[in-house]
Structure 1
Amino acid sequence: MTIGKFAQFILQFISLFLLVRLLKPEDFGIVSAAGVVISLAKLFSLIGVGPVLIQRPHITKSHIKTGFTITLIFSVACASIIFFMSDFIADLLNIKETSLVLKLITIIFIAKGFSTISESLIQRDMNFKIIIKIDIITFILYSSSAILLALLHFNYWALVLALIIQNVLKAILLYIYKPYPLKFQINKKEFKEFIFFGGGFTISKTANQLAKELDKLVVSRSFGAYTLGQYDRAYQLLVAPANLFTKIIDAVLFPAISKMQTQKEKIAYIYEMNLSLISFLTIPSSILMYYLAEEIVYAIYGSNWISIVPIFKILIIGLMFRTSYRISDSYIQALGLVYQYSVIKIIYAFLILVGAWYGKNWGIEGVSIGVLLGILINYLLMTILTIKNLKISIKKLILAHKPVFYAILMAFLSIIIMEKITSFLNLLFMIEILFTFGIYIIFLLLLYLFNSEKFYGEHFLWIKNQMMIPLRNFINK
């Protein structure tokens, strides 16, 4: 599973590397604007049916049939609303091209309506390998279709058509692996379970999704497709490492949690390690990426995208905040604090909207600063709620972050050394990136070899031992 997640990350990177060289910023902006509407409508169309099927101790055929009927009804309803309101939405977004895009992309809702039940049942069976395999297969089809269509000068339609192909194929593959009776049936008891639990789930997820999308709505309305495309690509450079670090945490720590008893003391200990590891990975990385911002943008996106460097520099400051609050999200939901979670996410969405709207007076950089502040406050609120419920002392949490201070020092030393090297040698941007991160890693290894327990502490050593388990298993195979 871990290998599959990294494979997905590499494939996404390769696809992104090629597509940004074939398409223009406005192409990404048009699809991103349509994506704001689609991602929000998806949550309503699924009405939390999946989580009910996954989390209930026992489900019957009646649950499956009722869930399928509800999902399909809501999916068709949302698709119809978007189809007939596409012109109005396009005016709201201030991008007229999204009207026809939204009409066509409603096919995704129908596909999702059929695939949700199969995907939820597969997750319920804990068969994540199948989902990873299907995700990889469909993403390869998406990226190859998008690249081929972009080469044929389909512009933004390359991304739209590839997205439709990906979702339709995924629905087919999921159903082939996990078929279920396609029968329309609504039972009162099961219907109430889906609506009450799924409704609460939808509210919290919608607020969280709004927080992720409202800034794009402001950028689209205020600056148009070109600037939205630039902002979206800069934001993706933040999201990519955040997702990677979260996957590392999932792969290393969450299997260990599942073997422990569900006691708050033990959960609190794991949470401390989660935050410590996230900070250890993200804070020095954000420092190095801020320093190498121009080189990173040039290496990944090419010279045509160099204007997004100021946006990227602002957003990358929030790498730790964005990654850490996602960890807190998981713990809060696991503790069953759905209503507190929903309130914070509503506040988060409001902060993003206000920050982006007020920040637009200073251009796209002002929007980025407003979004950064919203992410920071959400991180603080989620962390406070989590440590309060797990009864973790602030002092203990700070001490768990001791290795982070050494890592930060090593990051700054790496930058100083690299600046000395570049003052004598004119290195290629890719070599400079590799050298800077290489020097940083060498410093960390030297600290580890010198006195690992003194510098890194018990949390880091426990994490290291957990990381060695899958590595040994892989070598033994």
Structure 2
Amino acid sequence: MSSQTKNDSLKSKTTKGLLWGGMASIIQQFLGFGFGILLNRKLTAEDYGLVAMITIFSVLASAFQESGFVYGIVNKKEVEHKDYNAVFWTSVGIGTFIYIVLFFAAPLIALYYNQPVLVELSRFTFLSFWLGSFGIAHNAYLFRNLKIKERVITGTFALIASNIVGVYLAYKDYAYWAYAIQIVSYSGFNMLGFWYFSKFRPTFQFDFKPIRDILGFSSKILVTNIFININKNIYAAILGRHYTAEELGYTVNPNRWSIMAQNILTNMVNNVTQPILKEIEDDKDRQVRVFRKLISFTAFLAFPMLFGLTTVAQDFITISITDKWAQSAIFLQIFCIGAAFDSVSNVFSNLIISKGKPEVYMRNIIVFGILQIAILFFGKSLGLELLIGLTSALNALWIFVWYASAKPYMNYSFRYLLADIFAYALLAAVSCITAHYATAAIANLYLRFASTIGVAVCAYIIVNRIFKPSILLELFHYFLTVIRKK
């Protein structure tokens, strides 16, 4: 295969991956948001707070049962049926064992939070990770073979079906049970989709030797995933003893919405970054160019999207889920700022994994998690706003740690960091501040909300056209090419 053909093939893979990943993320996050509005209008902050208290146990159990097997499979040079089969039975075995342990630990969890209702609620909600264990090997098959479209369809179907169930039950006055059933059904539908699209089928041949090869890489990813899930769900685990379920509930949706907005980008980029960088790892100069485009693309979208959500947070909350959730607006603003920087850090972490350095990835996540836990534990009396503000600031500063960690493996200078990331952060901030003051005097809520978004978008396009035109021109030429092909 010629160099030009390889280059075209790589571009095609990257473009298709970003296109499908982008479409999927946008569709799924908007669907999730739409269903979330319906749930928020019916459920209370206390309902969300109760489920949030036990969420960390489910996500940690999911991390243990997955054990980094998906990334382990991707980074294995040759993969056979026995590899997937070993992953399947190991995942199911671990998932079953952990579920049994947590089932009997449910009374202790309820005692920790002083919430008796959590006994039955946690035992049911924990079924989500057990069901998920049956689809891990199939997900690994789809991910390794770049079956992005199939994963998109699976996730979208699971999202729609589970949310229909959840919304129906919420309006039948099932309260927090509606939210819990939605979570469990999502996991079940997702697992069924992975089975449907994957060609892998498990057999009763129990050969666990392949796990030893995979664990060398995946064990570090396991530890990392545990801390990633701790980092995202630690608020409820630590603060649930010091704040009421209602107070905690006001932070749940802002955190979830900031993650949803962030996921539009990270899901899109994650579909291609690691496989593509791995494919061109021998061409150092080309890898730098590809990496700069990926991280610039992420920053170009992440900062205006999440800074923009910060700008319209109060109006957004009022319009979407009414004034009863007004207290959550400040939390949405704080979470979004941290999420914007975390979106960019995600590209650095993918680079480090593609270089076969999971120990570096693991170290960064663990240290971040320890610092975040320390902030929440020792500062729990400072108030929720200040605590979450400090953890969000830590997210923003941590991008320098990721940069320093990636520097030994790629010739990516500090000047590139400023040009590819912070330039877009500055332009987005200027655009959003301009939009805020330009529309602040508008009395009508809906008109002010729409005008602020419109002014921010126009301002961002203008300043990019002046100071950073390259991304805009590339996107314009790409879409023009697509239109011409049609």
Q: CA deviation at 1:250?
A: 5.8
CA distance in 1, matches of 2:209, 2:451: 62
Q: Distance in 2 between the 1:44 and 1:256 partners?
A: 27
Gap change, CA 1:83 and 1:402, over 3 Å in 2: closer
* SS state at 1:186 partner: coil
SS of residue paired to 1:392: coil
Kindly report the root-mean-square deviation, in angstroms, between the aligned alpha carbons of the 2 structures.
2.7
- Kindly provide the CA deviation profile for residues 213-236 of structure 1, in whole angstroms up to 9, marking residues without a partner as x: 222211212213222211111212
CA contact (8 A) 1:214 1:349 kept: no
For 1:456, the equivalent position in structure 2 comes to 468
Report the equivalent of 2:12. Answer: none
User: 1:403, CA displacement in angstroms?
Assistant: 5.4
Query: Are 2:25 and 1:16 equivalent residues in the alignment?
Result: no
Equivalent of 1:36 in 49, 56, 74: 56
- Map of 1:473 onto structure 2: 482
Against the structure 1 CA distance between its residues 399 and 364, is the aligned structure 2 distance closer, same or farther, given a 3 Å change threshold?
Answer: closer
Provide closer, same or farther for how the CA distance between residues 475 and 300 of structure 1 changes in structure 2, counting only shifts above 3 A.
farther
Q: What is the deviation of 1:295?
A: 0.8
List runs of 5+ in structure 2 lacking aligned partners.
1-19
* Contact 2:352 2:358 survives alignment (8 Å): yes
TM-score, normalised by the number of residues in structure 2: 0.87
Structure 1 residues 143 and 94: alpha-carbon distance in aligned structure 2, compared to 1, 3 A threshold = same
Identify the residue that residue 78 of structure 1 maps to in structure 2. 98
Q: Report matched runs for 1:248-263 at 5 Å.
A: 249=269, 262-263=282-283
Does the Cα contact within 8 Å between 2:435 and 2:455 map onto a contact in 1? Answer: yes
Moved more, 54-63 or 344-353: 54-63
Taking a change above 3 Å as real, the CA distance of residues 467 and 39 of structure 1, as seen in their structure-2 partners, is: farther
Are 1:167 and 2:183 matched, yes or no? no
Note closer, same or farther for the CA distance 1:354–1:183 as it changes in structure 2 (3 Å cut).
Answer: same
AA of the residue aligned to 1:414: A
Listed as ranges, the gaps of 5+ residues in structure 1 are none
Structure 2 match to 1:440: 456
Could you say if the C-alpha distance between residues 290 and 68 of structure 1 is closer, same or farther in structure 2, counting changes exceeding 3 Å? closer
2:279 is the counterpart of 1:270: no
1:50-199 superposed matches below 5 A: 50-178=70-198, 180-187=200-207, 189-199=209-219
Deviation (angstroms), 1:175: 2.0
Per-residue displacement from partner, 1:314-338 (whole Å, max 9, x unpaired)? 3233232221212221111112221
CA separation of 1:176 and 1:278: change in aligned 2, threshold 3 A: closer
Deviation of the 1:51 alpha carbon? 2.7
List aligned pairs for 1:261-340, cutoff 5 A. Answer: 262-340=282-360
1:345 aligned partner: 365
From 402, 408, 415, give the equivalent of 2:436.
415
1:357, 1:367 within 8 Å by CA — same for their partners in 2? no
Aligned length: 465
- 1:28 is paired with a residue whose SS is helix
In 1: Cα distance, 2:57 partner to 2:161 partner: 24
More moved, 64-73 vs 128-137: 64-73
Query: Structure 2: which amino acid aligns with 1:146?
Result: G
Whether the 8 Å contact between 2:141 and 2:200 is mirrored in structure 1 is no
Match of 2:24 in 1: 4
Higher mean displacement: 304-313 or 184-193: 184-193
Contact 1:286/1:317 (CA < 8 Å) preserved in 2? Answer: yes
Percent identical residues: 16
**Distance change in 2, residues 1:191/1:32 (3 Å):** same
Q: CA deviation at 1:258?
A: 8.1
| 2:5 match | none
> Per-residue CA shift, 1:406-428, capped at 9, x if unaligned?
44433333223213xx2xx4222
Structure 1 residue 247, shift from structure 2 partner:
4.6
Mapped contact 2:25–2:263 kept (Cα < 8 A): no
Q: Amino acid of the residue matched to residue 426 of structure 1?
A: A
The superposition leaves residues 255-276 of structure 1 with CA deviations (integer Å, 9 ceiling, x where unpaired) of 9868866533333333334444
Instruction: Report the equivalent of 2:9.
Output: none
Q: TM-score, normalised by structure 1?
A: 0.88
Conservation of the 8 A alpha-carbon contact between 2:431 and 2:459? yes
- 1:311 to partner: Cα distance: 2.2
Does the 8 A contact of 2:308 with 2:456 survive in 1? Answer: no
Whether the 8 Å CA contact 1:252–1:466 is kept in 2: the answer is: no
Q: Identify which range, 149-158 or 257-266, moves more after superposition.
A: 257-266
